[in-house]
Amino acid sequence: MPYHEFEVSKVIPERKQHAVMKGAGEDLTSCLPLGYLNTIPGSISERGCAYCGAKHVIGTPMKDVIHISHGPVGCTYDTWQTKRYISDNDNFQLKYTFATDVKEKHIVFGAEKLLKQNIVEAFKAFPDTKRMTIYQTCATALIGDDIDAIAQEVMEEMPGTDIFVCNSPGFAGPSQSGGHHKINIAWINQKVGTLEPEITSDYVINYVGEYNIQGDQEVMTDYFKRMGIQVLSTFTGNGSYDDLRGMHRAHLNVLECARSAEYICDELRERYGIPRLDIDGFGFKPLADSLRKIGLFFGIEERAEAIIQEEIARWQPELDWYKERLRGKKVCLWPGGSKLWHWAHAIQEEMGVKVVSVYTKFGHQGDMEKGVSRCGEGALAIDDPNELEGLEALDMLKPDVIFTGKRPGEMAKKVNVPYLNAHAYHNGPYKGFEGWVRFARDIYNAIHSPIHKLSLIDISKDEIDAGKGFQTRRMISDEGLPEEIRKSTELREYTGKYDSVSALREKTYPEFPRAEAGTEAVAE
Amino acid sequence: MTCEIKEKDRVGTINPIFTCQPAGAQFVSIGVKDCIGLVHGGQGCVMFVRLIFSQHYKESFELASSSLHEDGAVFGACGRVEEGVDVLLARYPDVKVIPIITTCSTEVIGDDVDGVIRKLNDGLLKEKYADREVHLIAIHTPSFVGSMISGYDVAVRDFVKYFATPTEPNGKINLITGWVNPGDVKALKHLLKEMDVDATVLFEIESFDSPLMPDGNAISHGGTTIDDLRSTANAFGTIALNRYEGAKAAEWLQEEYKIPAVIGPTPIGIRNTDSFLQNLKKMTGKPIPPSLVRERAVALDALTDVTHMFLAEKKVAIYGNPDLVIGLAEFCIDLEMKPVLLLLGDDNVRYKNDPRLLAMKENVDWDMEVVTNADFWDLEDRIKNKGLELDLILGHSKGRFVAIDNNIPMVRVGFPTYDRAGMYRYPVVGYEGATWLAEQMANALFTDMEYKKNKEWILNVW
């Protein structure tokens, strides 16, 4: 195995098997790091906890729900307003968060009564919201509060309310990934099949593993609706609690983030026989292929094809404008879980950049398999990276840009590497054809930022061009570009609006006639 | 016309104003040089706190986790502290101080952190790191007690308690700033310099506003050294600016080493800054120089421009760290404004006897409420459902939607502030801070008048 040993990690030998550098002719059989093992204490890992994996990542994007965490306020406060999963109901889930505020006396005497008071108070404060999720935390897991029993009691006493309980304390697993698993299984066990949805199309899907970061879900749902497909539910971005109770009636589960939500898809297949189709909203080709696959499944390929043609005609010249200016730029692709493989191949193919490193904080070996196989030679793959390894890798690889989280982004900034937020995006959405151009635009703006170039100058040593009062990005990016590309009339910069999502909410869609009233085109 | 001090009338929290104790201890930890805190608990307790620090300061700070997993929660996780200390020391050759910060989970399972430290001191540190100066400090900050405020208070005391070593008088005072911004520390150091007072500033976080250097080697660290902490026992006095953030350390030094302590006032506004300088003068015998008389006068000149014409009568709600909130309220009153609602986000029983709040209770001639253990619903519910009318909100970014959704202008102040650029660079303390605050408030009102077309023409002539 071509393991990569970091200088800074020589003193913790077990780290050696967590990084590989892909060499000539190597494939997964010889080049795969270990993954999803317990974190080494004190290594300054970037991992979060199983509570945040459940509540913060998957639970909270559900939009019409009171999200209560049963514990001291910190868990709630810390995971509140740190994401950009918007919704079409004025972002209720971003604005409101609830904590039972467990104090010392509750630790000693139990906090079940406190929990019940909290539930009642919350429903009273928001009388129009009848749905609730409750998340266990470390403290209440350890004292052994029976949250399920309290939830059951309230549902009986307050008809019309419905409560979901997720027991995923912070310590339950090596990372946030443990929480993803727990909430997937809890949801299908407790809620799927408890409400019969209204079926309005012959083609019905659940859109799974999609969190509506900056509007991703709304962009993708727009394509589905244009194909005449009913999106029964989204798990969970911009998703509705009651819609998700009816997941069992879909004909197909369309799965986006296989890291965080394949569990529920696999259970839906097992229990209800609903097939799983993995798709990819990032990148023109992966997205076009995804829409084609869905079209093929339902026998409506021509609807998919029409959308693909229209969108590509509209956006390809803009994507290519950026591709010409991003060619050969070195990228560190350091997201949380699945984006390492969602993006690796697509950005190389469609934006011309070179991925020099991938890492994953909470991915499993399966994610690394996909990621490593989609990278070129010389790419450094790191599992559960830590602060010092990250800095050493940046020093060694000297990337032009890094895609990572907010906090590691600040670290990269200090070593003069511009960053894009891989979790929340800079100016997304990044899914969809237009979104992919927005991503390219953001990469271009980061790499060719005049301010970034200025930060590399040492005025005490370097020559200063005193006659220059400014520099445009084009002056930087077009230096050395062939004349025909610089002056191309085919290619153009991004022409969309700052907000590319809100208008979709007002859109109307064509009615497609159904096969025959009362029957369904797809056999169950 | 009454001023009531009362506790929130619900048990639960809808949109919390504070986070929990370990965050406060972690904030202290990043202020100390060659120090990396090891938080004993789940990984989220560190990951999110690092995130919120990076959101506020736009910098990354080093904090480690013992990464409590399920086995540790069941069988005890002291071993993970031992391993964590070893890994940190082995990989960070400059690290000398490791505070071990507990959380709710590890306090509930009852891990004996003090015992682990004894074991490490007698074992690992002697065997593997014999030539190295290493200090392990137990900081108990269960999340179900107090809040980030008390976590900060406890941690400052524990650092001081651990290091303070009486030797020779150092001719300095100790200045404990409380939970402030780099801009505040800069402003305080400026006042000390003008007064010609040599001080140990806890904590030296001016460096949190760190540069982006061409050679790319600047990472943000606090600047308080072990020697600074040691010599706190040799000062001739301590001034803790805040009653709830740092006073414990000042009181401990007074009790243990007879170092006179002055607690407060938080030097927000002209009057409190006057008192701070007066305290410095009393403690050091140094006169207040003409330069500060002038600086104060420049500030008063600026305040006079905005106070009775624009700020007078404006109703304001203030939330956040208690000393900050109280200091701001006092300043607003001097500016002829009417603080009508103060929200203090934890259940500290001392708030209701705080002399500053009692003075308001005694003297304000308008309806005012001070709510302890408060959350943001205490603010929003009053606005939406109970007819509270406000002209301005002062507080940190977590309350932004209350202002946005109710069309109330807001000035960002306190921690965390992530939805406005560069606020950490500006002080709220000192004469400089008073000017900045008053002008921020005035400008926020002006912008609001223009958006709402509410006598916006008045600014044609000013």
Please tell me if the domain spanning A50-190 has the same topology as the one spanning A204-308. Answer: yes
The set of residues, in sequence order, having a beta carbon less than 8 Å from that of A378 and lying 6+ positions away, is: A21, A22, A23, A356
* Predicted confidence (pLDDT) at residue B133 exceeds the cutoff of 50: yes
Q: Where are the domains of chain B?
A: 3-14+291-451, 21-146, 173-287
Q: Do A138 and B104 touch (CB under 8 A)?
A: yes
Domain ranges of chain A: 50-190, 204-308, 482-524
The predicted structure's pLDDT at residue A519: 52
Residue A46: closest C-alpha in chain B: B47
Which amino acid appears at position B254 of this protein? Q
CATH fold match for the domains B3-14+291-451 and B21-146:
yes
Pairwise CB contact (< 8 Å): A173 & B70: yes
The identity of residue B99, as a single letter, is: P
Measured between alpha carbons, how far is B36 from A435 in angstroms, rounded to an integer?
A: 40
Judge contact between A46 and A408, C-beta under 8 A: yes
Interface contact B11-A114, CB threshold 8 A:
yes
Instruction: Look up residue A507 and give its two tokens.
Output: 């859109």
Give the minimum alpha-carbon distance from A385 to chain B in angstroms, rounded to a whole number. 13
Q: Does A95 lie at the interface with B, CB-CB under 8 angstroms?
A: yes
pLDDT for the residue B220: 86
> What pLDDT does residue A401 have?
98
From A344's Cα to the closest Cα of chain B, the distance in A is: 26
Please answer yes or no on whether A103 and B144 come within 8 Å at the CB atom.
Answer: yes
How close A25 gets to chain B, by Cα (Å)?
34
Spatial distance between the Cα atoms of A322 and A318, rounded to a whole number of angstroms: 7
Task: Kindly report, residue by residue over B306-339, the tens digit of the pLDDT.
Answer: 999 999 999 999 999 999 999 999 999 999 999 9
Residue B100 has pLDDT above 50, yes or no: yes
Asked if A39 and B52 come within 8 Å (Cβ–Cβ), the reply is no
Instruction: Write b or e for each residue in A5-29: b if 16 or more Cβ atoms lie within 10 A of its Cβ, otherwise e.
Output: ebebbeebeebbbbbbbbeeebeee
* Homologous superfamily, domain B3-14+291-451: Nitrogenase molybdenum iron protein domain (3.40.50.1980)
Residue A6, chain B, CB below 8 Å: the answer is no
Asked if A70 contacts A136 with a C-beta cutoff of 8 angstroms, the reply is yes
Residue A457 forms contact with B (CB below 8 Å): yes
**Strand B199-202 to B173-176 pairing:** parallel
Nearest residue to A418 via CA among A400, A436, A406: A400
Identify from B11, B26, B43 which residue to disrupt to test chain A contact, counting A C-beta atoms within 10 A and taking the largest count: B43
> A47 and B50 in contact by Cβ < 8 A?
no
- Write the residue in B60, B66, B85 that is nearest to A410 by C-beta: B60
Q: How close, in Å, is residue B371 to chain A by CA atoms? A: 16
CA distances for B61 relative to A522, B50, B177, B246, B348, angstroms: 55, 6, 20, 22, 29
- Spatial neighbors of A225 by CB under 8 A, at least 6 apart, are A231, A509
The CA distances from residue B319 to A97, B333, B375, in Å, are 18, 16, 9
Cβ pairs bridging A and B (under 8 Å): 251
- The mean per-residue pLDDT over the stretch B61-86 comes to 96
CB contact under 8 A, A80 and B398: yes
Q: What is the pLDDT of residue B217?
A: 73
Q: Check: CB of residue A102 under 8 Å from CB of residue B144.
A: yes
Tell me yes or no: is domain B173-287 CATH 3.40.50.1980.
Answer: yes
For B134-167, the pLDDT digits (tens) are: 999 999 999 999 999 999 999 999 999 999 999 9
Would you call B23 and A78 a contact, using CB atoms and an 8 Å cutoff? yes
What is the edge-to-edge ordering of all strands in the sheet holding B97-102? B63-65, B37-40, B97-102, B135-139
Give, in order, the Cα–Cα distances in Å from B223 to each of B170, B204, B430. Answer: 19, 5, 22
Residues of chain A with Cβ-Cβ distance to B142 below 8 Å are 104
Query: The pTM is what?
Result: 0.97
In whole angstroms, give the CA distance from residue A235 to residue A217. 10
Cβ A92 vs Cβ A121: under 8 Å: no
The CATH-assigned architecture of domain B21-146 is: 3-Layer(aba) Sandwich (3.40)
Mutate which of B52, B74, B104 to test chain A, going by most A C-beta atoms within 10 A? B104
> pLDDT value at position A524?
43
CA distance A24 to chain B (A): 32
ipTM: 0.96
> Span B183-206, mean pLDDT?
98
- B-chain residue closest to A456, CA distance: B214
d(CA A316, CA A298): 27
CB atoms within 10 A of CB B217: 9
Q: Contacts for B412-418 with beta carbons within 8 Å, 24 or more apart?
A: B413/B320, B413/B324, B413/B328, B413/B437, B413/B440, B414/B320, B414/B321, B414/B324, B415/B56, B415/B179, B415/B181, B415/B320, B415/B321, B416/B52, B416/B55, B416/B56, B417/B56, B418/B52, B418/B55, B418/B56
List CB contacts of A458: < 8 A, sequence separation 6 or more: B214, B215
In B94-111, which positions are buried (b, 16+ CB within 10 angstroms) versus exposed (e)?
Answer: ebbbbbbbbbbbbbbbeb
Which residue is associated with the tokens 């019905």? A204
CB contact under 8 A, B143 and A139: yes
User: Which of the following CATH numbers is that of domain A204-308: 3.40.50.1980, 2.60.40.4070, 3.40.50.2300, 2.20.25.90?
Assistant: 3.40.50.1980
Q: What is the nearest CA distance from A185 to chain B, expressed in angstroms? A: 18
A89 and chain B: CB distance < 8 Å anywhere? no
Quickly name the fold that domain A50-190 has.
Rossmann fold (3.40.50)
Which of A171, A449, A458 should be substituted to probe chain B, the one whose Cβ sees the most B Cβ atoms within 10 Å? A171
Q: Do B48 and A82 touch (CB under 8 A)?
A: yes
Tens-level pLDDT at each residue, chain A (524 residues)? 789 999 999 999 999 999 999 888 888 888 899 999 999 999 999 999 999 999 999 999 999 999 999 999 999 999 999 999 999 999 999 999 999 999 999 999 999 999 999 999 999 999 999 999 999 999 999 999 999 999 999 999 999 999 999 999 999 999 999 999 999 999 999 999 999 999 999 999 999 999 999 999 999 999 999 999 999 999 999 999 999 999 999 999 999 998 999 999 999 999 999 999 999 999 999 999 999 999 999 999 999 999 999 999 999 999 999 999 999 999 999 998 888 889 999 999 999 999 999 999 998 988 888 888 888 888 999 999 999 999 999 999 999 999 999 999 999 999 999 999 999 999 999 999 999 999 999 999 999 999 999 999 999 999 998 899 999 999 999 999 999 999 999 999 999 999 999 999 999 999 999 987 555 555 44
Q: Cβ separation of A410 and B104 shorter than 8 Å?
A: no
Q: What is the mean pLDDT of residues B214-223?
A: 84
Instruction: Answer whether A73 sits within 8 Å of B19, measured CB to CB.
Output: yes
Interface test with B, best of A414, A416, A457 (most B CBs within 10 A): A414
**Phi/psi at A204 (nearest 5 deg)?**
-125, 125
Residues of chain A contacting residue B109, judged by C-beta atoms under 8 Å apart: 142
Report the C-alpha gap between B170 and B168 in whole angstroms: 6
